[in-house]
Amino acid sequence: MADPGHTINGGGTIIDSLGSEIIGVMSPVSICMLLVVLLISALSPPPSAAVDASTPITAATLVYLESPSDPPSQKLVGALLNAAAFVALVTIATFLIVLLYYYNCTSFLKNYMRLSAFLVLASMGGSIALSLLRRFAIPLDTATSLLLLLNFSAVGVLSVLSPAVPILLRQAYMVVLGVIVAASLSNLPEWTTWTLLLALAVYDLVSVLAPKGPLKLLVDLASSRDEELPALVYEARPTVSRSSNPPIAAAPAFTASIELQPLADTPTAEVSGADHAIVEIEHVREETAPLVGNAGGGRRPESVSSHHSSEIEILETSPLVINEDVGRQSEGPRRSHASELERGIRLGLGDFVFYSVLVGRAAMYDLMTVYACYLAIISGLGCTLILLSVCRHALPALPISITLGVVFYFLTRLLLEPFVVGASSKLVCI
Amino acid sequence: MERREQEEDEERRHLRGRGIVLPAWPTVDGPLGLSPEESVAYARRFFRWGFALLPWLWAVNCIYFWPVLRARPSDFPAFSPLTHLRPYVLRSAIGFTVFTVLLSIWALTFMIGGKPLFGSVWDDLVMYNVADKLGLTGWY
């Protein structure tokens, strides 16, 4: 795969080996963007009622709060300052995570992730649900809605990090988290959004590819320890079960064919499983403990806007990661003993969020810009995936997609839209 | 002759379970999911936590261990952990069904009955009115 001649001749081989992975990554991203666009178009206030008093102060508007009457130069400077402050915050947070991970505070990181996932789901998700209830005038009573919200958040927290949930559910919750954060971030003022997106694309590029970039450090550290990334990451195709308890050994006792074999097999399987179960119980206890604290503690009294600063930090962009063995599946013997390490493509939740923020911002203008941005982002993601299959190390997923998306947004808005609207209003058939 | 009977038996079982003869894996994720031994511990935990007003955990249990729920108990091999797993999953399914039915009866009564049925209390119980009263703003 590495030699260039092979790549040129067999472009199909890359697509072949990556085909299902590309779909596995692109479909959740598409669903996430679609949901954000639907949410925004359902919930955006009528233009007459737009009051700027509702724009909250978040981590992304620390320096400057845009108001529509400001001159463009002031908006630009303010937006740049905002973006710089936000990127600085994200960098500090990432370095903090790297430090914590380096000193083996993994349980702290995990609990922090659970806490923030719970807060995102319960408070931000709750407020979005409240807006939806109000928008569609659904007279749900208080007790039922609180009960449903509690259940929704609790299952979400479990599904983010506990192994005992269906993979589909975990993926769905990742998408939901992305949708919620992206929908909240799309409240940012317009200029700030664009500069912020570009700044994050540059930050992503630097921090994944620079020699001492924080995300590169994190990925290297995680792969040298052979552990999961301590971040919220969407996995296209999850890992095969732990190697300590290979499923192949446990499986035969329960398949139909083995039923006919002598029973001597079964007790050994049970013995090996028994001590494993004990370990697992401790593991579960440790995992469910934060759930109790959260459920009893309830929500924070502050309003939604104040949560942003703490939540976004952990959702910073994680790079695309690919395992060495993806794409080499045709090599039979190699695969068989490497299969337990084999992993799908992983995409950071931050990428979901910022793609969706871009599309959501485009949705506030027009549907035509939404189409353009969607196509640009998806093609950028495709380019990144193909690069990934060539480079075989962690790559930033934001730069290509975001750059293409921003360029296409402004091209559509400035060039295509006047043309199409003019043509169709003059009844020119195109 | 005996062999033929066996084959027929096998076929019948196939038909009965619509392809699912036995749960080769306890979870819907197949080889990617938990092993049967781990499953029992998790199912027990989820089932017990479900009583803490978290019936969705029961739903997760049912979905995750769907193959176990579908299979018949007589199909399990004698000493498999799946025999321990099934009661939890079954009880989770019952609990979730009961809970859902009760909750939807209440919620639908509340929604459809509305003010004529509940009087002025209704206004105090609707979620968005309560949120307004508490000053919880929505998203926008």
Q: Are the C-beta atoms of residues A229 and A209 closer than 8 Å to each other?
A: no
Give the distance from residue A197's alpha carbon to the nearest chain B alpha carbon, in angstroms. Answer: 22
| CA nearest to B54 within chain A | A151
Q: What is the mean pLDDT of residues B119-124?
A: 85
Give the distance from residue B91's alpha carbon to the nearest chain A alpha carbon, in angstroms. Answer: 18
For residue A347, the surrounding DSSP H or E stretch is: strand A346-348
CA-based Rg of chain B, rounded to a whole angstrom?
A: 22
Q: What is the mean pLDDT of residues A80-89?
A: 91
Q: Is the pLDDT of residue A31 over 90?
A: yes
Asked if A158's CB is within 8 angstroms of B110's CB, the reply is no
Q: Is the pLDDT of residue A32 over 90?
A: yes
CA pseudo-torsion sign A299, B100, B116, A137: positive
Distance CA A8, CA A161 (A): 41
Structure tokens at A102: 């380096």
Distance CA A302, CA A55 (A): 16
Q: Is the pLDDT of residue A336 over 50?
A: no
| CA nearest to B10 within chain A | A256
Closest by Cα among A65, A41, A25 to A377: A25
Q: Which residues of A touch B10 (CB under 8 A)?
A: 256
Q: Are the C-beta atoms of residues A40 and A184 closer than 8 Å to each other?
A: no
Q: What is the mean pLDDT of residues A288-296?
A: 30
Q: What is the mean pLDDT of residues A193-214?
A: 90
Measured CA distances, A158 to A120, A177, A226 (Å): 14, 13, 23
**Total residues belonging to chain A:** 430
Q: Count how many Cα atoms sit within 13 Å of the Cα of residue B79 in the half-sphere of its side chain.
A: 13
| CA nearest to B131 within chain A | A130
- Residue among A70, A204, A275, A366 flagged as catalytic: A204
| Per-residue pLDDT reduced to its tens digit, A3-27 | 443 433 444 555 566 677 778 888 9
CA pseudo-torsion sign A388, A389, A391, A392: positive
- For every residue of A18-78, DSSP letters joined together read HHHHHHHHHHHHHHHHHHHHHHHHHHSPPGGG--GGGPPP-GGGSS----TTS-HHHHHHH
Q: Is the pLDDT of residue A266 over 50?
A: no
Give the distance from residue A359's alpha carbon to the nearest chain B alpha carbon, in angstroms. Answer: 18
Asked if A263's CB is within 8 angstroms of B35's CB, the reply is no
Q: Count how many Cα atoms sit within 13 Å of the Cα of residue A78 in the half-sphere of its side chain.
A: 20
Mean pLDDT estimate for chain A: 72
Asked if B46's CB is within 8 angstroms of A277's CB, the reply is no
For residue A346, the surrounding DSSP H or E stretch is: strand A346-348
Angle (CA) A198-A316-A126 rounded to 5° is 105
Q: Count how many Cα atoms sit within 13 Å of the Cα of residue B32 in the half-sphere of its side chain.
A: 16
Most confident of A48-57, A131-140, A296-305: A131-140
B106 contacts chain A (CB < 8 A): yes
| CA nearest to A133 within chain B | B128
- Residue A427 CB burial class (10 angstroms; 0-12, 13-18, ≥19): exposed
Measured CA distances, A258 to A127, A250, A253, B72, B77 (Å): 53, 11, 6, 17, 9
Q: Is A234 helix (H, G, I), strand (E, B) or coil?
A: strand
Distance CA A144, CA A103 (A): 44
φ, ψ for residue A370 (rounded to 5)?
-60, -45
B131 contacts chain A (CB < 8 A): yes
Closest by Cα among A213, A404, A407 to A318: A213
A204 is catalytic: yes
Q: Which residues of A touch B131 (CB under 8 A)?
A: 130, 134
B79 CB neighbour count, 10 Å cutoff:
14
ipTM: 0.79
Structure tokens at A87: 């990127």
Distance CA A268, CA B37 (A): 13
Q: Which residues of A touch B109 (CB under 8 A)?
A: none
User: How many Å from the N-terminal Cα to the C-terminal Cα in chain B?
Assistant: 75
| Per-residue pLDDT reduced to its tens digit, A92-150 | 998 998 899 888 888 888 888 889 999 999 999 998 999 898 888 888 888 999 999 99
